[in-house]
Amino acid sequence: MGLLDRLKQRLTRTRSAISDGISGLFRGGRQIDEQLLGELEELLYTSDLGPLAATLVAELAREHKRGEIKGEEDVRARLRQMLLERVAQDTAEIRFEHKPTVILVVGVNGSGKTTSIAKLAHRFRQQGRSVLLGAGDTFRAAAADQLEIWASRNGASIVRGKPGSDPAAVAFDALEQGIARGVDVILIDTAGRLHTQKKLMDELGKLRRVIERRLPGAPHETWLVLDGTNGQNAIQQAKLFTSAVAVTGLIVAKLDGTARGGALLGIKQALGLPVRYIGTGEQLELLEVFEPEAFVSALLEPAS
């Protein structure tokens, strides 16, 4: 990324901060009334917060009636607080306590699994770890090719099977080789599957069991990649994937557009899963550790 691009990006962020959605609501010295609260609810809904938007605004309305909330600053502070309470979590960055640390990556079609794995591999390589990728997506045409190209750019090694072969076999091979070569991290890609496809979800369960049998305690992490532009369906995805493979964390991809991934809050509320990383662009470096503060700020920005 060039200097100019970096600068541009920073400027965008600054601009967003200035035109914070809540400031917009109070522009012209407006007082808190039903209409303003309605507009606030809209702001929250358009961030994909779902039913939570109504809950939050109802709480604000109650507190306003009791006289606890008076102006813009109170609303801003209280809302930020309420949202932060809901996304708060321990540090997101993974700790490598095992060697190899095996990470299984799952998600629906097109959520960004393969790209996220490439970014993770890049990140771990930058940290000086050796990385092996298991190309477990044997279904989608050329998925393994895609991963192989990323692997060669990253300096990671890759294990792949024939198209249509058993993903569990690929995972097993990846573990065999990873253990033999003494790598630090094994990232296992899987084919995208809609959470409603029972058979494909069962296949994930099998994949997990095969990994566990080869290396007891593995996979040490199972991450669900969510498309940040998805709405309320993301909650359903998280529920069903969690029940099929015991998801331990989330990666939210595609948060570089105008979508703000508010569905995360619903997932947090329902399942309490920590968010590990967010994807904020197409370049390999653009994978960031999830920061609750920054996320909440982004949620409160106005719709563009």
- Say how far apart CA 246 and CA 205 lie, in whole Å: 9
**Burial class of residue 3 in the structure, from the number of CB atoms within 10 Å of its CB (0-12 exposed, 13-18 middle, 19+ buried):** exposed
Q: In what order do the strands lie in the sheet with 157-160?
A: 157-160, 131-136, 185-190, 101-107, 221-227, 249-253, 275-279, 287-289
What distance in Å separates the CA atoms of residue 180 and residue 257, rounded to the nearest whole number? Answer: 42
Distance CA 35, CA 26 (A): 11
Give the binding range for another protein (CB under 8 A) out of 97-105, 165-173, 212-220, 256-264.
Answer: 256-264
When asked if residue 116 is in the footprint of another protein (CB under 8 A), the reply is no
Judged by CB under 8 A, the residue of 130, 146, 154, 242 near another protein is 146
By the rule CB under 8 A, 51 interacts with another protein: yes
Those residues with Cβ within 8 angstroms of residue 235's Cβ, 6 or more apart along the chain or in another chain: 50, 263, 266, 267, 270
Binds another protein (CB under 8 A): choice among 119, 195, 208, 268: 195
- Which residues have a Cβ under 8 Å from the Cβ of 125 and sit 6 or more positions away? 131, 154, 155, 156
Note whether 259 binds another protein by CB under 8 A. yes
Among 130, 138, 222, 230, binds another protein (CB under 8 A): 230
Beta bridge partners of 249: 223
What dihedral do alpha carbons 81, 85, 86, 90 form, nearest 10°? 130
Q: Say if residues 83 and 75 touch (Cβ distance below 8 Å).
A: no
What character string, x for contact with another protein (CB under 8 A) and - otherwise, covers 68-107? ----------------------------------------
x/- contact string, 16-45, with another protein (CB under 8 A)?
--------------------------x--x
Is 194 among the residues that bind another protein (CB under 8 A)?
yes
Q: How many residues bind another protein (CB under 8 A)?
A: 51
Binding of residue 285 to another protein (CB under 8 A): no
Q: Which of 189, 203, 227, 301 binds another protein (CB under 8 A)?
A: 227
302 binds another protein (CB under 8 A): no
Q: Which is nearer to another protein, 215 or 263 (CB)?
A: 263
Which of 100, 96, 283, 269 is closest to 184 using CA atoms? 100
Q: Does 110 bind another protein (CB under 8 A)?
A: yes
| Nearest alpha-carbon partner for 210 in 157, 161, 250 | 161
- Smallest distance from the beta carbon of 215 to another protein, in angstroms? 29
Residue reference for tokens 């994909």? 48
Which residue's CB is nearer to another protein, number 149 or number 179?
A: 149
Site residues (CB under 8 A) for another protein?
42, 45-48, 50-51, 108-112, 115, 139-143, 145-146, 148-150, 163, 194-198, 227, 229-234, 236-237, 240, 253-254, 256-260, 262-263, 282, 303-304
